[in-house]
Amino acid sequence: MGEWGLGHATTKEIARAAGLSEAGLYKHFAGKAELFVRVLAERMPHFGPLVAELSREPEQGSVADNLRRIAAAARDFYDRSFPMAAALFAEPALLEDHKAALKRDGTGPQHTGAAVARYLRIEQRHGRVRAGADTESAATLLVGGALSIAFVGHFTEPHPDPASRDEAARALVDTLLPALLPD
């Protein structure tokens, strides 16, 4: 799936790469959409657990540094998953299967922004984020900006180097900070 994208990788090819028969693959997964959800959960850079950790232990590190870590992790996740996921939008049946698998697992892109907003509200209660700051919009901008950095990077030749990608994530957070940090 990483080499050819989700739409072009057949279950037969996926099974062969995993050292299974196609029937063996279907004993573990209902189809490509479910397999893709599992790959995302197990093999991709994780920013969900990072946000959960920061929410459980607020007031660790600075809000700025925590948001930079979230932005970089989100960017890395989108960078690695986008080439596989792009095919979902070209195949309506595959997209519907993917949505069903996400719903079944209680995962999906709608949860990432909500998790970041939750983290920001927790920091808000501790006085580290300005009272009245729009945490929902800030989370949307942060996660959406990370997605944009990753997406655009796939159209840039050569692919952006890690330092420029880190700088883009840092600039994204630095732009949000004045709206978030107490005066």
Looking at per-residue pLDDT, the higher value among 15 and 65 belongs to: 65
| Contact assessment for residue 88 and residue 94, using Cβ atoms and an 8 Å cutoff | yes
Reported as type and span, the H/E element at residue 54 is: helix 48-56
CATH topology of domain 46-180: Tetracycline Repressor; domain 2 (1.10.357)
Q: At what angle do helices 162-180 and 135-153 cross, to 10 degrees?
A: 160
Q: What is the mean pLDDT of residues 160-171?
A: 87
Average pLDDT, the chain: 84
Q: CA 167, CA 20: separation in Å to the nearest integer?
A: 42
Q: CA 111, CA 105: separation in Å to the nearest integer?
A: 11
Number of Cβ within a 10 Å radius of residue 106: 7
What 8-state DSSP symbol labels residue 29?
-
Contacts 24+ apart (CB under 8 A), 17-23: none
Could you write out the DSSP letters of every residue in 121-164? HHHHHTTSS-TT--HHHHHHHHHHHHHHHHHHHTTSSSPPPHHH
Q: CA 177, CA 171: separation in Å to the nearest integer?
A: 10
Q: How many residues are present in the chain?
A: 183
The model's pLDDT over 111-157, given as tens digits with 9 standing for 90+, comes to 889 999 999 999 999 999 999 999 999 999 999 999 999 888 888 87
Side chain identity, residue 122: I
The model's pLDDT over 53-96, given as tens digits with 9 standing for 90+, comes to 889 888 889 999 999 999 999 998 888 888 777 777 777 877 88
Number of Cβ within a 10 Å radius of residue 58: 18
Residue 98 pLDDT > 60, yes or no? yes
Q: CA 179, CA 67: separation in Å to the nearest integer?
A: 13
pTM of the model: 0.79
| Contact assessment for residue 67 and residue 176, using Cβ atoms and an 8 Å cutoff | yes
Q: Domain extents for the chain?
A: 46-180
